[in-house]
Amino acid sequence: MASNIKTVNVTELERQIKSGATDDIVVVTPFKHRNSREIVTFKTPEEFKAYYAIHKMHIDSTTTNGLNKLYKVEGHKLGRRKDVIMVIPDTKSSAQPDRVDLLSDAVNDMAERLEEINLLISELPKIKKGLKQCMDTLNNIRRRNPPEDSLEE
């Protein structure tokens, strides 16, 4: 009975199902990139459609999960309805800034403000020294030239 167990990847299983050769027990292995290919990224659905026209046979033989691992279309995900590949807008993707990005921006803003505050704090001793010199100068001028009101008394 153990001789009926086979290990195949998902695309191989799809081929077997289409050909009707699935009488044996099948253990499906996780999807792996074919030939260690890197992820292909497209900026627009039109770019993907042009690529699809050239690589139609390979893309059609890949599972939907495999498609979404191998191919990325900015702001979209790939789907399949009745064996038709579709580029579907992804409401969770770049349409809305992700929470981590928003928090990162807020932290960066606060860090900039903190640097400005620290710069002002470092300037305070200089300002204090300048004010003290002004006060001393004014006091010296008053001692030398007392106000006329005080002379009349």
The pLDDT value given to residue 22: 53
The pLDDT value given to residue 10: 56
The pLDDT value given to residue 29: 52
For the whole model, what pTM was predicted? 0.39
| Collapsed DSSP state (helix, strand, coil) of residue 80 | strand
The pLDDT value given to residue 149: 66
∠ CA 105-107-111, nearest 5°, is 115
Beta bridge partners of 85: 80
Which residues in 125-143 are b (16+ Cβ under 10 Å) and which e?
eeeeeeeeeeeeeeeeeee
pLDDT per residue, tens digit, the chain (153 aa), is 444 444 555 566 566 666 765 555 555 555 555 554 677 888 888 888 888 888 888 888 888 888 888 888 888 888 888 888 888 888 765 545 567 777 888 888 898 899 999 998 999 999 999 999 999 999 998 888 876 765 555
The pLDDT value given to residue 5: 46
Fill in the DSSP letter of residue 8: E
Give residue limits of the domains in the chain: 1-30, 32-95, 99-152
